[in-house]
Structure 1
Amino acid sequence: MFVLFEEAGKYLGGRVLSEAEASAQVELETGKRVKVKTGNIVLRFEKPGPAELIVEARAVAATIDLDLAWEFAPEGEFGFAELAAEYFQDKPTLAQQAAALFGLFEAPHYFRRAGKGRFKKAPAEIVQQALAAIEKKKLVQAQIAEWASELVAGTCPVPVREQLYKILFKPDKNAPEYRAVVEASRASQRPPLELLEKAGAIDSAYQFHWKRFLFENFPKGTAFPPLQAPAITDDLPLADGVQAFSIDDSQTTEIDDALSVQGFGSGTVTVGIHIAAPGLALVPGSAIDQVARQRMSTVYMPGYK
């Protein structure tokens, strides 16, 4: 006698060598012998052989219209043989029964498992949601394949270019842009960086390293929110006759210190060191104060700050 049984989420077939009340000793096609719980056995048959039955059942299962099977399925809990009788014929063949089992087992969006070889219809709204999700997944996969093909051909799709530094240095491995680069890298047998360079995603080595620096050190960007300079309400003392000079280049935007020299005609010279005092105008807790506390300092680098 042969049996079809479930083992670790798969259906296997084999010849029964011996059987007790709670289990059976089964020999697989490979010659391996396994102990199978009686409750895991879903079909018993004399012929054909297990391998032949599984091949035939798989072929029949591929023809099952799942929407129609869902309509035919009984309400409440049911066994695969019951569905086979409703879907195929009143007395389904062994292959048709096994096909119904495989079809039910491999369509969890239509049928929920209710035990070994037993199932229950999923609610209609759940089926529709699952089908919509499957269709969306297919569209995303098609988009990934299209982008990967473009990358292999030497063209960088705009969405991939826009996510370039995130893909390379802080990737979301579920994002379609990242997956397209991985797929193209495998297909072309090129490292991602070389692949993207060949596809024209990297304009220059300088820009690449500069933007990488910004991406890693300024993940929120370098721009400031629109803020208005606070008004100075206190009367500040003015030094009469003092001319202060800052030592900066012509493009400086932060004149925050200066020097002055003042002679009094008596041989005494006063050297003045003038430092910006933003604290006189900034109110603790204000919007501009919060930005200053978050930024803390200015980062200087060649050509930028």
Structure 2
Amino acid sequence: SRLLPWSGPAYGAARSREEITDILAGHRERRAALAAQVDAVGLWEMAQGEMRSASAAWFAELLEDAPDADAVAACGRALLACKSHFKFQPPLFEIYDAQTVEVRRAAEEAARQREALVAGGAAWLRTLCDAAQGRRQRPDPADAPPDPVGDRLRHMIMARITDPESTDEEGLWKQVSKGLPDDPFLPLLLAQAWGLVPAHYDLWLDRAGFESGTAWEGRHAGECAAIADSVGSERMPPISEEQFISIDSPATRDIDDAFHIEGAPGGGWDVTVALACPALFWDFGGALDTAVAWRGTSLYLPEGVSHMMPGSLSEGAFSLFAGKRRPAVLVRLHVAEDGSAGEGAFSVGTVCLAANLDYAGCEEALDGAENRAAPYAGELRLAHAMSQARLDWRVRQGAVIIDKPELEISLEGEGEDTVVHVGEAPQAPRAMLLVSELMILANAALAQWAVARDVPLLYRTQDIAVPRESAGVWRNAADIARVVRGFAAASLDTQPKPHAGIGLPAYAPFSSPIRRYADLVNEAQLLHVLETGAPRWSAPEMEGIRSRLALRLDAMGQVQRFRPRYWKYLYMQQQSALHGGECIWKAEIAEENDSWVSVNLPEVQVILRARKQIFGEKAHPGQEFMVRLARISPLRVEAFIAEACAV
């Protein structure tokens, strides 16, 4: 406590304790009443600019001619309480200038809001947390703290879903979430309990800043319409007379590749690959290009497809539909009987595909079935023979090929009622190999062409040493675990380094220019050299594109990896809930050491680790078990093996 510089009135000493107490109480009551009537801000407005500091008595005299001790004390109390406008420097009050007052008012308001947020928000977050953990029913959103506290809480929660490492308002978040579990997914769980986001919310997409759906396309409708008008105009390149066919999934609408193949007179095959050519009409640096570059790639998820380009282009003007004239890059090359390929010849032309075929139909036609693909069976057989020769050649170059059945994840229902189905996709191994090898062939040809001419490109590289015995096609879990041990993921580079997994000295992707931005850039670079003899982008400029794009592709890669895993683990969780203790899974040991065992669940293609003691000391790679799972968490993409029984 401190002695305030106003005193009085004075009373004689001949007073009893009771009388003194009554006198003090009377003055206290009167001073409180008078202080409540003092307009401290009004006093500041009268004094600000005139005085730098003044006493309580001076301020009291502004209110009345002859203030008594109670009036002076009351005025002093009011000024002490008005900390945004005055600072008490005994015996005077410093009078803040207008700018200081504004700053202090803002600080006071922020402090008041923080206090209100902590006071009103902490209890609400505790309620949400209890609901998320199943300890109580989900609360009614109407019971949330009123705005602005509620709005601030919503903003904080959503911001931390998007960026869990954010330091913005970190101290305030720690205060309001004090006592809640230290869980990296806590903001998402709170948001779901509040109803801010739906069940099965894709936080990875949120963190990537990728706008799903088609709403974003409307912002570029004019530019898309102008591009679409150019396709089919007099600006189109010369027509190619070759008969091209494409092979895709039945539902595919963004068709970006097709081919024509003939047997070469001297042996081997003469191949022409036709690739969609959006680069011919693309405005690099424009608003549409900026949006597409940010997206970086198309996303193919169980819940739907989000295209890199607007649908009017990716599934319209640039898609290689049968019977429609489309601009295309043509890659012509010869493949020898041993699978080696000559140098590619590149040109730009207009193509009109003979047919859009699907994998299953082509697979059946290879077996002699009469269907839509049957008229092209001869060409399909040539392409299959070529693709097998190319595969064998790449293996001889050291390629490491992982051949696992493709899974199909489908969703039924919506929201919390979503049911996940997982099963093997229809298999068409020869047709799929055919398309895969054609695309690898085209991309390898571009890399070879660019290296020979010192043209800057974006390359996919995997510059690692691979043991010779690792080369081959691998299908079982133990072999796959052995050969990929120590493998680094392929990366985007501007230097033509080897791609060990594919078995090529250089690999420059451009076969999917309407699905991947790196492919679009490489296609544009090729076109510019063909037209002008010089590259569009220099090596430093290409490195700038690479560095920006690599960050986006890393973010999108997380979405593409984690989202299907989420649905797989939800499927496992739903199956366990449906069948209880009878829910068992086939598992094959992929790796083992003295303490741990890694197993592959082939039904869902998930790798799990568990203590070796669960499987026994004699457990070894390739051994099969039936396992029972516990504590399955789709959000954390984890599950624990509770029991294992050898088959």
The bucket for the TM-score relative to the shorter chain is: 0.5 to 0.7
Q: 1:81 to 1:71 in 2, by over 3 A?
A: same
Counterpart in 2 of 1:237?
Answer: 238
Counterpart in 1 of 2:66?
Answer: 90
Length-normalised TM-score, structure 1: 0.54
Partners of 2:167 and 2:65 in 1: CA distance: 50
Partners of 1:59 and 1:180 in 2: CA distance: 44
3-state SS of the aligned residue for 1:104?
helix
Deviations 1:62-107 (A, max 9, x none): 85136545557865433112234555883533x6545433421331
Counterpart in 1 of 2:260?
Answer: 260
The letter for the 1-side match of 2:244 is Q
Partners of 1:168 and 1:63 in 2: CA distance: 52
Partners of 1:196 and 1:289 in 2: CA distance: 34
Q: 1:112 to 1:57 in 2, by over 3 A?
A: same
Matched, 1:165 2:136: no
Partners of 2:256 and 2:122 in 1: CA distance: 52
Q: 1:182 to 1:255 in 2, by over 3 A?
A: farther
Q: 1:96 to 1:57 in 2, by over 3 A?
A: farther
Deviations 1:176-207 (A, max 9, x none): xx979964x45xx5445454454454543xx2
- Following TM superposition, by how much is the alpha carbon of 1:213 offset from its aligned partner in structure 2, in angstroms? 0.9
Q: Select 1:105's aligned residue among 67, 70, 80.
A: 80
Deviations 1:206-242 (A, max 9, x none): x23x1x11221116x3434324151144342333250
Aligned partners of 2:114 and 2:172 also within 8 Å: no
Counterpart in 2 of 1:81?
Answer: 57
Partners of 2:285 and 2:101 in 1: CA distance: 53
Partners of 1:271 and 1:199 in 2: CA distance: 58
- Following TM superposition, by how much is the alpha carbon of 1:112 offset from its aligned partner in structure 2, in angstroms? 4.0
- Structure 1's unaligned 5+ residue stretches are 1-10, 14-40
Partners of 1:89 and 1:166 in 2: CA distance: 57
The letter for the 1-side match of 2:297 is S
Aligned partners of 2:257 and 2:274 also within 8 Å: yes
Counterpart in 2 of 1:65?
Answer: 36
- Following TM superposition, by how much is the alpha carbon of 1:244 offset from its aligned partner in structure 2, in angstroms? 1.7
Counterpart in 2 of 1:12?
Answer: 2
Counterpart in 2 of 1:282?
Answer: 282
RMSD of equivalent CA atoms: 5.4
Mapping of residues 101-180 of structure 1, within 5 Å: 101-109=76-84, 111-113=85-87, 116=90, 117-120=92-95, 152=127, 154-156=139-141, 157=144, 164-170=157-163
3-state SS of the aligned residue for 1:118?
strand
3-state SS of the aligned residue for 2:82?
coil
Aligned partners of 2:244 and 2:260 also within 8 Å: yes
Deviations 1:111-170 (A, max 9, x none): 4459641354978xx999999998999799879877766663823359566875324444
Partners of 1:242 and 1:62 in 2: CA distance: 98
Partners of 1:267 and 1:173 in 2: CA distance: 67
Counterpart in 2 of 1:216?
Answer: 207
The letter for the 1-side match of 2:207 is E
What percentage of aligned pairs have identical amino acids?
17
The letter for the 2-side match of 1:236 is P
3-state SS of the aligned residue for 2:224?
coil
Aligned partners of 2:80 and 2:88 also within 8 Å: no
Partners of 1:121 and 1:179 in 2: CA distance: 29
Q: 1:61 to 1:87 in 2, by over 3 A?
A: farther
Counterpart in 1 of 2:273?
Answer: 273
The letter for the 2-side match of 1:228 is C
Partners of 2:161 and 2:209 in 1: CA distance: 16
The letter for the 1-side match of 2:279 is G
Q: 1:65 to 1:127 in 2, by over 3 A?
A: farther
Mapping of residues 171-190 of structure 1, within 5 Å: 183=176, 185=177, 189-190=179-180
Q: 1:101 to 1:155 in 2, by over 3 A?
A: same
Partners of 1:269 and 1:121 in 2: CA distance: 88
Aligned partners of 1:61 and 1:103 also within 8 Å: no
Aligned partners of 1:114 and 1:120 also within 8 Å: no
Matched, 1:298 2:273: no
Q: 1:180 to 1:161 in 2, by over 3 A?
A: same
Q: 1:133 to 1:115 in 2, by over 3 A?
A: closer
Number of aligned pairs?
A: 247
The letter for the 2-side match of 1:79 is S
Partners of 1:145 and 1:167 in 2: CA distance: 20
Partners of 2:198 and 2:290 in 1: CA distance: 36
Length-normalised TM-score, structure 2: 0.29
Partners of 1:250 and 1:62 in 2: CA distance: 84
Aligned partners of 1:257 and 1:275 also within 8 Å: yes
- Following TM superposition, by how much is the alpha carbon of 1:273 offset from its aligned partner in structure 2, in angstroms? 1.4
Aligned partners of 2:40 and 2:78 also within 8 Å: no
Mapping of residues 191-230 of structure 1, within 5 Å: 191=181, 193=187, 195-201=190-196, 203-204=198-199, 207-208=200-201, 210=202, 212-218=203-209, 221-222=211-212, 223-224=216-217, 225-226=219-220, 227-229=223-225, 230=227
- Following TM superposition, by how much is the alpha carbon of 1:281 offset from its aligned partner in structure 2, in angstroms? 1.9
Aligned partners of 1:112 and 1:122 also within 8 Å: no
Partners of 1:288 and 1:234 in 2: CA distance: 21
The letter for the 2-side match of 1:278 is P
Q: Which protein has greater RCO, CA pairs closer than 8 Å, 6+ apart?
A: 2
Aligned partners of 2:257 and 2:273 also within 8 Å: yes
